[in-house]
Chains A and B, each alone.
Chain A
Amino acid sequence: MIGKAIVIMVPLLIAALGGLFTELAGVLNIALEGLILSGAFAAVIATEISGSFFIGITAAIITSTAIAFLFAVTSLHLKGNIFVTGLAINLLVPPLTAMVSKGLFGTKGVIRLEDSLGNQDVFMTLAILLILTFVSVVILRYTPFGLYIRTAGINRDFLESRAVSTRKIQTFAILISGAACGLAGAIISLRLGVFIPGISAGRGWIALVAIYLGNKKPLPILAACFVFAFAETLSDSAQGLIEIPATIILSFPYFITILGLILYSIFKK
């Protein structure tokens, strides 16, 4: 069961680590959800057309980064309200995916691939998770870029006084979160070999809460993602043991997330 949780937590952690860059840079990124969804969609489309998972994943990363760029332009350069523009991204992606899929495949609904990535080896997955976490720690702590990002979130005037453009740093952070969400989305859809509208299923929000719960530090975020993934596994297997209707199970991630958020707020002091 722990193995299953580790597999589930991969996309969650990747999205959360990407979101960590924006969060530290002082950007409230509620667009994670839409970015994950666009990645999941682009991955399936590109894999279907090219027949290669690698191209699918690359396309997902590029697509989500492009949409993240739109988010960055409207919120940073046009100075939109970051909350409203983030919401806009989340609202923009579902109709866009429906349009493209209707145009390409004549369906607004499920797109199924012949093949799927399937479940990879648990220890490999675990190793990759640890490496990713480690890499983000290194980037954020020990590189000038990481320092700029953290400073952007704390004191932007200081950064400007050093002739570093906060806006540029924040734009980069948003692009990184876009790329990460694209990868996360690709993993979600390619693992199953299918795209379903709404396949991101609140993972962007869970990732956002994982960032808060993890106190904006990579390792605790890893732990928080594991807790969420484990809770999801538990509720999945609860379905087999007790008779809980499937639709109610769908609400669990949200309840768990809000519970996590409340606990975080209580113990923050």
Chain B
Amino acid sequence: MRKTNRIFGQFTGAVITLTAVILIAVIFLLIFSPDKSESIYYFFIGPFLNSLSIGNLLSSFTLLTFSGLAITVAFKADVFNLGGEGQIYAGAIAATAVLIYMPRLNGISGFLLASATAAAAGGILAGISGFLKTRWKVDELISSFLLSNAIIHIIDYLITGPMSDRNSYLLTTKMIDEKFYLWQLIRPSNLNSSIFGALLAVVIISFLLFYTKQGYELRICGMNREFAHYGGLNTAFYITVPMVISGALLGLAGSSAVLGIHHATIKGFYSGIGWNGIAVALIAGTNPIAVIPSAFIFAYLNQAADTAMLKADFPFELGGLIQAIVFLLISSKLISERTGLKRGRK
């Protein structure tokens, strides 16, 4: 009985937040859009109009599943990973570097090595914050954010400097070889085979969390670290490891964007994946399976905002606004105390 209540509570919380978000978006469209009916139409129907937009919706779903899952793992252990953008970027540049500087790899080994390097790059970056937390009690939410911002500038330098493609009009690295491209599923949209990778990641993470001893211990640490400590668990381990897994998943989001969509690292491509990952995780309420519908809704909202803005010449950054409103509302008491985030920090 209590269990159904809890799930129901979580569910209503998410529904209320999302309804509020859509309402606010519509109000914004009604107030500011020059052509009201057209922009409303495109906001709701736009993402499903043709195979191109459906494909792009699913492609953005793929990336958000990776990043939402990454943040969920951290939340589950009650640690915060605010460095999503930097970790995605690091994963992307690592994967790109592997494929550019080792062009003789074949398709499969290139894919495997690039993904592994990307996961390692993101994992190490996030792991540093976990280590700093366990070693010197440096707050991981601040350190992960600062590290991510520092590394973003370094990667910007790599993209515009040593690794740049001087023939491109975009700020981007050189393109990777065509044999490393992931399969396009719906041409000409961005959708590619990494969507299966994202779904597989959800299954693997859920299995690890709910069907292994380590997953159980991680969840105990997330629920009550002191209790876990007195129970004899290595609580420091369950700060660093969730951070590393979280960073690795974000790194994979970066490499899947490189191998599947851009085929290079484009400057600033991470925007909209990193922070949205947190929003996805908040809506999913620390439940890894719920990341799938949550990521889908967010992909839809972003796509809807994009098409409405493009088609109706709507000048406003609806996507960013939607994200901010979710953050403002999701953890509030009005909506639910049960979203899984237990407390504010001091």
Contact = CB atoms under 8 A, between A and B. Distances in A.
Interface string A72-86: 001100111111110
A183 B238 CA distance: 42
B334 A78 contact: yes
Contact of A98 (B137, B145, B149, B317): B317
Interface in A50-99: 70, 74-75, 78-85, 87-89, 91-92, 94-96, 98-99
B235 to A, nearest CB: 18
B333 interface: yes
Contacts of B136: 262, 265-266
11 contacts: A83-B80, A88-B324, A94-B320, A95-B324, A98-B316, A99-B321, A247-B157, A247-B160, A251-B151, A258-B143, A261-B138
Interface in A1-54: 26, 28, 30
A88 B327 contact: yes
Most B CB contacts (10 A, CB to CB) among A202, A258, A265 go to: A258
Interface stretch (B102-110, B212-220, B337-345): B337-345
B190 interface: no
A80 B156 contact: no
Contact of B320 (A30, A95, A102, A247): A95
Contacts of B330: 80, 84
Contact of B156 (A30, A75, A247, A266): A247
B346 A102 contact: no
Size category of the binding interface on chain A: 35 or more
A248 B153 contact: yes
B315 interface: yes
A174 to B, nearest CB: 13
Interface string B162-191: 000000000000000000000000000000
Nearest to B141: A83
A81 B32 CA distance: 31
Given A83-B80, A245-B161, A261-B146, A95 B317 contact: yes
Given A95-B321, A99-B321, A255-B150, 17 more contacts: A26-B346, A28-B344, A30-B141, A78-B332, A79-B333, A81-B331, A84-B331, A91-B275, A91-B323, A95-B318, A98-B320, A99-B32, A108-B315, A245-B161, A251-B154, A258-B150, A261-B146
A209 interface: yes
B317 A85 contact: no
Contacts, number: 140
B147 interface: yes
A81 B316 contact: no
A205 B145 CA distance: 9
A262 B318 CA distance: 37
Nearest to A206: B146
A180 interface: no
A99 B132 contact: no
Interface string B106-142: 0000000000000000000000000010001111011
Contact of B327 (A87, A258, A261): A87
Interface in B36-87: 80, 82
Nearest to A201: B149
B142 A99 contact: no
B198 interface: no
A75 B142 CA distance: 19
A245 B331 CA distance: 41
Nearest to A247: B157
Contacts of A94: 317, 320
Given A84-B327, A87-B278, A265 B344 contact: no
